Structure 1
Amino acid sequence: MIALGLMSGTSMDGIDGALVDTDGEKAVERGPSFFVPYDDAFRAKLTAALETAKRIRTREERPGELAALEREITLRHADAVAQFLDGLPARWRDVSVVGFHGQTVLHRPAEGVTVQLGEGALLSERVGLPVVWDMRAADMEAGGQGAPLVSAYHAALARSLFPDRLPAVIVNIGGISNISFVPAKGEPIAFDTGPGNALIDQWVARSGLAYDADGAVAAKGRVAEAAQDAYLAKPFFSQPGPKSLDRLDFTLAEAEGLGLEDGARTLAAVSAGAILRAVEHLPEAPKLWVICGGGRKNPHIVGDLRAGASVPVIVAEEVGLDGDATEAEAWGYLAVRSLRGLPLTYPGTTGCREAVTGGVHSVPKGKSEAA
């Protein structure tokens, strides 16, 4: 079936959407995609929401402005979907299900709490399609970290596109970076590796920039090795997977005192170093690294990865993928798996007790769930 995946990630830069035609297993045909950026004022709202969300103790709580923000996030997604579907070729208009991630504002795996703002039932009514949402909760109820969830999709892609180069690692560099280790046989292994773009974005925001476009700020700086070492000495990096992070688990404290350019360059080196350290926790060395997400556009992160890895490091487009759309595609793929009762996560990807499916299914009034 054709599924539309929607993702608003930890970089909080906007809404990614992508279509896949899939059985939720081996068959994957990638379709059109879109991106709708958030305006600066709305990004500021999301940033403020991260602070408010610290007051949450149970998944259902929406203190302060969070209830109104949740509705606004949902309606922005609905508008984006309507505009996207209106311009599609007929081949891709027959969408059976939407996979809706929402906006993460809190992730506390040790407490079994993860909150993604987004009302799946409201989205379903607005777009007139079945929606699968809240896909992390069941994994946490089964003892898992609730993240990362994209590994089942990464495994399907790797085994389809480069089966002769396994084991391979697919890296998604968003606000937080995560990896999927895909062996030739068996279930994938996955975990968050550390800060991706989040710290860099926060750093350059002090100068009024939303992000360091093409690494231009960092290009004028040098790596402050003491600050880099201080970050990479944190206990998180020596901890084996499964493990996951909240966007606020790492701060700019270790970079304080650096100039703008040196800070941006150092934080790019931290992002790369964190990913490279993931090898310490893999059962065998990968033959290939494939880089997805916005961080692949930062030449310093990619350059540092290539300098530190002993095997090829390539960006998603070099194997025929769209590195901006991969995570949204995953959410469409996972929605189909959820409808079919297939596992979304495994003990080796999130630490759940056994392979577990998940997701809440909402359908518009008067319609039935996708077959």
Structure 2
Amino acid sequence: MTQTCAIGLMSGTSMDGIDLAMLATDGENSVRRGPSFFVPYEAGFRRRIEAALEDARAIVSRDERPGDLAALEREITERHADAVARFLGEGVDGSGRPEIIGFHGQTVLHRPQAALTVQLGDGPLLASLTGRPVVYDMRANDMVLGGQGAPLVPAYHAALARSLPPEFAWKTPVAFVNIGGISNVTYVPADGDPVAFDSGPGNALIDQWVFREGGVPFDAGGAIASEGGVVDSVVAAYLTKPFFSRSGPKSLDRNDFTLAEAQGLELADGARTLAAVSAAAILEAAGNMPEPPKLWIVCGGGRKNPHIVGDLKTGAEKVGAEVILAEGAGLDGDAMEAEAWAYLAVRSLRRLPLTFPTTTGCREPVSGGLLASLEGGKS
């Protein structure tokens, strides 16, 4: 089948900036990965998004934009358009001419129990500003059919699993772990549809903790945590949350976990303990998989925290499994979500499923997304 060149845009729950990636794909098993790019948000804009999460609590229907949300949505869209221009200005057009953009937007509210998810991002405006058609709002149709609306990356994880280097090909089942603000896992069996769900907090609690207690936006390289120790009772308290006793598919809003259990800890102990919580939550996820994975592939910003990864490796080794970073499998752990949105945009164009009953709980495999054309329409 003919390949389509696409750009994927992702601004995730860590709210640190915009990831961009290009790939060519048929929307199925053929994936040719291209260049990637990152445009960071400055601290002031990140704080504005954090404030918007509070405004978003008042939303009861997807089109509402209370408080600053309408103005913020336009600015987020304009920033994405500027990011695309910078990306293409770096000479990446030589890798292929992008025919479509997959646009995630910025999630400010995710309430799967109410079939409500809101991502700030104006697809028609982005199409107008970039001069390319845009596929956006890819979560909503899944919810219409009873799904959680997340995670959406598993379809792409499954395609990557089918093209792993030979030295990893025998290590099935494989689990991909994306550690962003929230962590999610994708279990890819040797045959059949992937199984996926959010596994728990990723970087979000750590970021909130070090900002509140130390005035820094994140624990770069786990430096703060390296001065502290794990408080096991706090880890245990987090793991007693009802979320962990629920079977998948399941998904989280960024605000579903708080710092309450860590209250009273010293800065470094809190950072180290919350890293242990992130790793423990991921390992706990194996209990919701058809069988334990033999190989864990770690991607997302959290793979740069040596304490999360170290705890994962220690826990996996106890059951005979291996943990590697995405780069160890020839992949790009920073660009994978943006690549996924490019891949999903092509699947959307071809009306292929973006989600499955085993990944979001939808009643049947379902496609999704709206297409904003250059003529200003959407479909």
TM-aligned CA deviation for residue 163 of structure 1: 3.3
Match of 2:68 among 65, 69, 79: 65
Match of 1:77 among 77, 80, 102: 80
Match of 2:354 among 326, 344, 356: 344
**Does the 8 Å CA contact 1:2/1:92 hold for their aligned counterparts?**
no
Q: Deviations over 1:300-331 (max 9, x none)?
A: 00000011112100000000011000000000
Distance (whole Å) between structure 2 residues aligned to residue 295 and residue 257 of structure 1? 24
Aligned to 1:187: 193
User: What is the count of residue pairs matched by the alignment?
Assistant: 369
Secondary structure of the structure 2 residue equivalent to 1:95: coil
1:113 aligned onto 2:120:
no
Aligned to 2:243: 236
**Does the 8 Å CA contact 2:172/2:295 hold for their aligned counterparts?**
yes
Name the amino acid aligned to 2:271.
A
Aligned to 1:54: 57
TM-aligned CA deviation for residue 65 of structure 1: 0.6
TM-aligned CA deviation for residue 237 of structure 1: 0.7
Structure 1 residues 298-317: aligned runs within 5 Å: 298-309=305-316, 310=319, 311-317=321-327
**Does the 8 Å CA contact 1:317/1:323 hold for their aligned counterparts?**
yes
In the superposition, relative to structure 1, how do residues 244 and 231 fare at CA in structure 2: closer, same or farther (>3 Å)?
Answer: same
Aligned to 1:256: 263
**Does the 8 Å CA contact 2:21/2:342 hold for their aligned counterparts?**
yes
1:11 aligned onto 2:29:
no
In the superposition, relative to structure 1, how do residues 337 and 251 fare at CA in structure 2: closer, same or farther (>3 Å)?
Answer: same
TM-aligned CA deviation for residue 88 of structure 1: 2.0
Distance (whole Å) between structure 2 residues aligned to residue 235 and residue 214 of structure 1? 31
Match of 1:175 among 147, 168, 181: 181
Distance (whole Å) between structure 2 residues aligned to residue 215 and residue 322 of structure 1? 20
Aligned to 1:102: 105
Secondary structure of the structure 2 residue equivalent to 1:160: coil
Distance (whole Å) between structure 2 residues aligned to residue 210 and residue 100 of structure 1? 25
**Does the 8 Å CA contact 1:173/1:197 hold for their aligned counterparts?**
yes
Distance (whole Å) between structure 2 residues aligned to residue 212 and residue 366 of structure 1? 43
Distance (whole Å) between structure 2 residues aligned to residue 144 and residue 53 of structure 1? 21
Distance (whole Å) between structure 2 residues aligned to residue 273 and residue 170 of structure 1? 15
Secondary structure of the structure 2 residue equivalent to 1:250: coil
**Most deviating of 261-270 and 230-239:** 230-239
**Does the 8 Å CA contact 2:230/2:269 hold for their aligned counterparts?**
yes
Match of 1:24 among 12, 24, 27: 27
Structure 1 residues 274-313: aligned runs within 5 Å: 274-309=281-316, 310=319, 311-313=321-323
**Most deviating of 86-95 and 144-153:** 86-95
Aligned to 1:134: 137
Distance (whole Å) between structure 1 residues aligned to residue 371 and residue 272 of structure 2? 43
In the superposition, relative to structure 1, how do residues 163 and 117 fare at CA in structure 2: closer, same or farther (>3 Å)?
Answer: same
1:324 aligned onto 2:334:
yes
Q: Give unmatched runs, 5+ long, in structure 1.
A: none
Q: Give unmatched runs, 5+ long, in structure 2.
A: none
Aligned to 1:145: 148
**Does the 8 Å CA contact 1:197/1:271 hold for their aligned counterparts?**
yes
Distance (whole Å) between structure 2 residues aligned to residue 90 and residue 45 of structure 1? 33
Distance (whole Å) between structure 2 residues aligned to residue 29 and residue 165 of structure 1? 23
Name the amino acid aligned to 2:299.
C
Secondary structure of the structure 1 residue equivalent to 2:149: coil
TM-aligned CA deviation for residue 91 of structure 1: 3.0
1:196 aligned onto 2:202:
yes
Distance (whole Å) between structure 2 residues aligned to residue 120 and residue 219 of structure 1? 42
Distance (whole Å) between structure 2 residues aligned to residue 44 and residue 173 of structure 1? 21
Secondary structure of the structure 1 residue equivalent to 2:296: strand
Name the amino acid aligned to 2:18.
I
- RMSD between superposed Cα atoms in Å: 1.2
Aligned to 1:212: 219
Paired-residue identity, %: 66
Structure 1 residues 355-366: aligned runs within 5 Å: 355-365=365-375
Distance (whole Å) between structure 2 residues aligned to residue 174 and residue 345 of structure 1? 20
Q: Deviations over 1:101-139 (max 9, x none)?
A: 000000000000000000000000000001000000000
Name the amino acid aligned to 2:223.
A
**Does the 8 Å CA contact 1:77/1:123 hold for their aligned counterparts?**
yes
